Amino acid sequence: MKAVELIEKKRNSRKLNKKELTFFVNGFLEGVIPNYQMSAFLMAVTINGFSDQEAKVFTDVLIKSGRQLSFGEKLVDKHSTGGVGDKTTLIIAPIAAALGMKMVKMSGRGLGHTGGTADKLAAIKGMQLILSPAEIKKSLEEIGVCLLQQSADIAPADKLIYQLRDVTATTNSIPLIASSIMSKKVASGSKILVIDIKVGRGAFIKTKKQGLELARLLKKIGRHYRLKVICVLSRMDEPLGINVGNGLEVMEALSFLNGNYDKKLYDLVMELTSQLLKQERKVSYQVACQQIEEVLNNGKALNSFFEIIENQGGEVRNIKISKQTLLINSPKSGFVKKIDAFKIGKLVQQLGAGRLEVNDEISLGVGVVLHKKEGDYIKKGDPLLKVYFDNIKPASKEFLSCYQFSVQKVKEKKVVIAIV
C-alpha cells in the first residue's frame, strides 16, 4: 500500500476502507508519510468529501491514535466550530461549575481567521493547559471543571492534522470538522455534548444547509459512541460580543460574569448552557434558564471563573493586553448595517492574533474592541472601534472597509438559527 495511491483514489472520489485510512493516518503520525502528502490528502477530502462510513472510520482511527480518558463521571462538554469573537467557552465553563456540572473542556488553537480557546487561555499569565489524568480527576473533584489544551496523547493524529488544516485551506471540510471534533470529545470521556455550529460570513460553514449537514454527521457519529449530541446553529455574520482577540476576549468573559454583556452573546450563552443543563438534569428549558440566571446574578459563576483559573496556576489579574492602541472614528452618521466578521477576523489575524504558518508565535494581546454593533446608531466622528496592536500598526481604512452604514434603522437578526 502506498500513500500516493490512496491520495489518487480519494482525488478520484473513490471510497477508502478502514485498512487504508488506518494506514494513512498512522503512517503520518509515525513520520513515514510526510506533511505534503497529508496536505494533498486533506485537500482531496475537502474537494470530494467522505461517505458517512469513511467519516466514522476516520474518527475512530484518530481516537485510537492516542489514549482515551474515563473519570466515571457524567461529563458535559461544549464545542464551537470556530468564529470571530467567540468567547462562550470562557463563560459557560464557570457557569457549569457553579451549577455542579462536571466538564473536561479540551480546546484547540485558532484555525485561520478564527480564535482558539487554548490561545485565549494562554493570554492569562501562568495558566497551565496540559494536565495529567490525576490532575484532571482532582480538578473535577474539587472545582468541577478544567480547561485544557489538546495534549500530545489525546487523539495526537488529530492534533497534527488540525495544525496542517490551518495552513492548507482545508478548514471548511464538513467530514474533517466532524471527525476532528468527535475524536477529541470521545477520547476525553464526554457523555453529553452541545456543539455550537457557526454559520455565516465569519464561519467555516457558510450556509444553514451546510450547518444542518454537519449537525447530521456529528449526531450520527455521536450515536455510534453513545455520546448525546445537541447542535445549535448560530449566526456568525458579525463578531460575537464586542472584543476580538485572545486577551481581550478573556476580559470580555470576565466582564460578562460581572453582569456586563452584549445581548447576542448573552442569548447564545443562555441557549448553549440551557441545552447542557436540560440533558444533564432532565429539566425543562425554563427551569434551566432560571438556574443559569441565578448563578450569574448571585456571583457564583464569577467565583467559579476565579477558581478554575487559579486552580490551573493562572493569574486572573494578569491578562495580556497590548499597550499600543488606535481609536477609529465613524466616517458618517447612521445605523451600523453590517460588520464583516470574516474581514475583522483576518485583520486581527494579521495583527498577530492568529497563525499564518504552523509554528508561528502569536501576539496574545492584540485585537479590537467594537464600540458599536449591527443595528446601533452612531454619529459622524464618534468612536467606532479601538485597535490594540504590538508591532504591526493597523490601517484605519482597512478596518473601516469592514463596515456598512444605513440611514434607516436595521432589523435585528437573532443569533440562534436552529437547534437539532
Catalytic residues: 79, 158, 165, 180, 184
Neighbours of 309 (CB within 10 A): 22
**88: amino acid identity, one letter:** T
Q: Which strands sit side by side in the sheet containing 145-149, from one edge to the other?
A: 145-149, 103-107, 76-80, 192-199, 228-235, 416-419
Asked if residues 388 and 245 have their Cβ atoms less than 8 Å apart, the reply is: yes
Q: What's the chain's length in residues?
A: 420
Instruction: Cite the DSSP H helix spans in 1-51.
Output: 3-11, 18-29, 35-48
d(CA 33, CA 292): 48
Residue 102 CB partners (closer than 8 Å, separation 6+):
71, 73, 74, 75, 76, 140, 144, 145
Asked if residues 270 and 290 have their Cβ atoms less than 8 Å apart, the reply is: no
d(CA 350, CA 343): 10
d(CA 342, CA 83): 9
Please give the grid coordinates belonging to residue 353.
492574533
Asked if residues 344 and 84 have their Cβ atoms less than 8 Å apart, the reply is: yes
Neighbours of 183 (CB within 10 A): 28
Please give the grid coordinates belonging to residue 238.
458579525
**176: amino acid identity, one letter:** L
Q: 393 to each of 40, 113, 347, 363, 387, how far by Cα in Å? A: 36, 18, 11, 13, 9
Please give the grid coordinates belonging to residue 419.
437547534
- Name the CA radius of gyration of the chain, rounded: 21
Q: Which residue has the cell 470571530?
A: 84
